[in-house]
Amino acid sequence: MVPKISTLSGYLHEQQKSIANPTGFWANIAETFFWRKKWKDVLDWDFNIPKVEWFKNGKLNITENIFERHIFIQGEQKALIWEPNDPDEPNIEYTYNELFSKVKRFANVLRRHSIKKGDRVAIYLPMVPELAIAMLSCARIGAIHSVIFAGFSANALQERINDAKAKILITADQGLRGKKVINLKETADEALRSCPTINSNIVVRRTGGTINWNNEKDVWWHGEMDKVTDESKAETMDSEDPLFILYTSGSTGKPKGVVHTTGGYMVYTAYTFKNVFQYSNGDIYFCAADIGWITGHSYIIYGPLLEGATTIMFEGTPTFPNPSRYWDIINKYQVNQFYTSPTAIRSLIALGEEWIENTEMKSLKVLGTVGEPINEEAWHWYHDHVGKNRCPIVDTWWQTETGGIMISPIAGIIPTKPAFATLPLPGIQPVIMDEAGNKLCGNSVEGSLCIQFPWPGIARTHWNDHQRFKESYFSQFPGYYFTGDGAKRDEDGYYRILGRMDDVINVAGHRLGTAEIENAINEHPLVSESAVVGFQHKIKGQGIYAYVVCNDLPKKDDGEELRNSITKGVSKMISPIAKPDKIQFTHSLPRTRSGKIMRRILKKIAEGKGDYGDISTLTNPEIVEEIIEGNKKIQ
């Protein structure tokens, strides 16, 4: 088990140690895991290439560290509790022994389908236990999983399958979220029409609803599980062998396949989980994220299970059958640590206090948030109404690319401040840069947030596109990892994350590239071009505002129809989460002399702010007036 910090002076001591001797610091933590063969060098790195290798030549299997390592001491401890969408349906609870047995079985299923070490497995599942089992089974045999969020469209699924050249797909007949039934198999079928590398499609029966069946490719999960035993040796992996790919949005149109490797990711997720949440043996931990995103990978599956925790996986939504759903789950299982997003909190605030008033939630010890900045109002509500003034809030800042939490309070140990992610975890060295690339020293500074030394959880590359990996994070500030976020360090040395500085918007904690949305809008036959910006949104943090230029601008009365069909198109191309909240038609977009769209102005207008700065560099300054006028009609 990784060491646990238990006092503020302990934190300061570890932090100091980790800066003075980072490799010694991480080697000590890595030694608490089971390695089949120890590493030669702790770290080999050069951010200019970029190259980062942790514990290289160390041999291990992450599932041996989850299962075999714990089994003798706590095989009968609960590993995974699955809470269904509908509270009247029975839940599922697996001990470590039981989950292990399922994982070994499904590992054998994958092997029977000729999946070998290094092959990619696409997983398009709702929040069902089979999702956890499938991921761990891949890890067991060294296959690289690529989980695709079940809210993505056929087009987005297809793009991700083909980019990774996945050999097999795992999906379900349908998914359930609140009152909605999601036809996953139907969407998967549509995607598979043009996925030449997929040989089989393993289908989990979740609802038993009617689906189409393709005898050549489709097989049932349960049918396959019956054909195999639960004896399955773990594949020996190098510390630097890829564990998974997870696609995320960047500032260009194409989503990037962020690659995480085995040893470093294991050490980092386990260490940060245990310390940030102050997890103790026997605690019940509930992260309400979806496993389709990095938070679910690191803090529903890998971090907790590596530490022998009991982790809850929830299929449903915070408001079904009513807005007490989370609080009911917390009471039902006596949850000790609860981790969710500011958007979920804000949406529950908006539904009124009566849903939380008489909830006891006495078991709660720690509350966490992730995914976007939390505003003070939401922070206080979370603290007062959910935590009943007893629980520290950990506002955890991190990214898909960082693998795990980077800047965050350690629960109950680092004093919190509303809306501040506070201090870096041990091993993390944040720096703030000005526009010219100078490191801003001392406190009370604001600029671009960079990290100046590798940590074990950092992503290693983009699948098949190392060049883009370099450009995305290592070119703006040579020698540093650039996060894409702005941040300030206040007078106490505390960090406050200010949000993205690039063309990425964060809608309800989901990262979306503006270029990606623009591409989808531009697919519409009547659209000639578009520009998408984020604007402040009361619940979602940011909303999507699209400026659309049409070949034939709609006449007053058919604008609505065109809006709807554009919105539908975006849903179909990407996902309903990427639908614009507002669409404004315009004759053209403000451009600089070099032809670049001046987003700064569009963003100001979308947010209803004046002061557009210098517009004299535009080739078409007159359009700004038209756009301002048009905006007034949209509000």
Site for ligand 7RM in 603-622 (CB under 6 A): none
Query: DSSP 3-state assignment of 26?
Result: helix
| The token pair that represents 98 in the structure block | 């039981």
**Residue 553-572 contact track with ligand 7RM, rule CB under 6 A, x = bound:** --------------------
Cα–Cα distance between 74 and 65 in angstroms, integer? Answer: 13
Residue 397 contacts ligand 7RM per CB under 6 A: yes
* 399 counts as binding ligand 7RM under rule CB under 6 A: yes
Span near ligand 7RM by CB under 6 A; candidates 394-402, 425-433, 455-463, 576-584: 394-402
Instruction: Single out the residue of 395, 503, 516, 518 in contact with ligand 7RM (rule: CB under 6 A).
Output: 395
- CB 408 → ligand 7RM: shortest distance, Å? 7
3-state secondary structure 325-394: HHHHHHHHHCCCEEEECHHHHHHHHHCCHHHCCCCCCCCCCEEEEECCCCCHHHHHHHHHHHCCCCCCEE
Q: How far is the CB of 419 from ligand 7RM (least distance, A)?
A: 8
- Per CB under 6 A, the list member of 372, 503, 516, 518 interacting with ligand 7RM is 372
Which of these segments, 199-207, 354-362, 369-377, 596-604, binds ligand 7RM (CB under 6 A)? 369-377
Region binding ligand 7RM by CB under 6 A among candidate stretches 168-176, 287-295, 529-537, 559-567:
287-295
Task: Name which of 376, 390, 290 is nearest 340 in CA terms.
Answer: 290
* Rounded least distance, CB 270 to ligand 7RM, Å: 17
Question: At how many degrees (to 10) do helices 154-164 and 184-192 cross?
Answer: 50
Rounded distance, CA 263 to CA 266, Å? 5
- 373 forms part of the interface with ligand 7RM (CB under 6 A): yes
- Is position 370 an interface residue for ligand 7RM (rule: CB under 6 A)? yes
Two tokens, residue 183:
């036809």
Q: How many residues belong to the site for ligand 7RM (CB under 6 A)?
A: 23
CB of 451 to ligand 7RM, least distance (A): 12
Identify the residue among 15, 400, 567, 631 touching ligand 7RM (CB under 6 A).
400
Q: How far apart are CA 520 and CA 504, in angstroms?
A: 15
Pick 400 or 567: Cβ nearer ligand 7RM: 400
Instruction: Considering the complex, state which of residue 248 and residue 275 has its C-beta at the smaller distance from ligand 7RM.
Output: 248
Nearer to ligand 7RM, 248 or 337 (CB): 248
According to the binding rule CB under 6 A, does residue 14 interact with ligand 7RM? no
Q: How is 441-490 classified by DSSP, letter by letter?
A: -SSSEEEEEEE-S--TTS--EETT-HHHHHHHHTSSSTTSEEEEEEEEE-
CA distance 296 to 288: 8
* Burial of 81: CB neighbours in 10 Å, binned 0-12, 13-18, 19+: buried
**In the set 18, 275, 278, 396, which binds ligand 7RM (CB under 6 A)?**
396
340 binds ligand 7RM (CB under 6 A): no
Q: Of these, 167, 325, 511, 540, which contacts ligand 7RM (CB under 6 A)?
A: 511
Least Cβ distance, residue 123 to ligand 7RM (angstroms): 18
For Cα atoms 501, 264, 339, give the angle at the middle one, nearest 5 degrees: 60
User: How many CB atoms neighbour CB 159 within 10 A?
Assistant: 20
**Nearer to ligand 7RM (CB atom), residue 209 or residue 486:** 486
x-or-dash string of contact with ligand 7RM, 288-317, rule CB under 6 A: -----xxx----------------------
Q: Are strands 495-500 and 481-489 parallel, antiparallel or unpaired?
A: antiparallel
- What is the closest distance, in whole angstroms, from the C-beta atom of residue 299 to ligand 7RM in the complex? 9
Contact string 415-444 vs ligand 7RM (x = CB under 6 A): ------x-----------------------
Q: Is 575 a residue that touches ligand 7RM (CB under 6 A)?
A: no
Question: Judged by CB, which is closer to ligand 7RM: 142, or 403?
Answer: 403
H or E stretch covering 586: strand 582-586
Which residue has tokens 């007034």?
632
Q: Which C-beta is closer to ligand 7RM: that of 224 or that of 485?
A: 485
Query: CB–CB of 559/526 below 8 Å?
Result: no
User: How many CB atoms are located within 10 Å of the residue 502 CB?
Assistant: 16
Q: Contacting ligand 7RM (CB under 6 A), which of 398, 455, 477, 495?
A: 398
SS3 for 62? helix
CB of 255 to ligand 7RM, least distance (A): 12
Residue placing its CB nearer to ligand 7RM in the complex, 14 or 401: 401
Query: Which residues between 449 and 508 bind ligand 7RM (CB under 6 A)?
Result: 483-485, 497, 499-500, 506
The residue count for the chain: 635
Binding region for ligand 7RM (CB under 6 A) out of 116-124, 139-147, 396-404, 454-462: 396-404
Residues 6+ apart with CB under 8 A from 635: 608
Contact 456, 267 (CB under 8 A): yes
Please state the closest distance from residue 228 (CB atom) to ligand 7RM, in A.
35
Q: Looking at residues 241 to 280 of the shown chain, list those that interact with ligand 7RM (rule: CB under 6 A).
A: 248
**Cα three-residue angle 494-499-505, rounded to 5 degrees:** 160
Closest contact distance (angstroms) between CB of 520 and ligand 7RM is 19
Phi, psi of 20 (to 5 degrees): -65, -35
Task: Give alpha helix (H) positions in 3-95.
Answer: 8-20, 22-30, 62-66, 68-74
Q: Which residues of this chain interact with ligand 7RM, rule CB under 6 A?
A: 248, 293-295, 370-373, 395-400, 421, 483-485, 497, 499-500, 506, 511
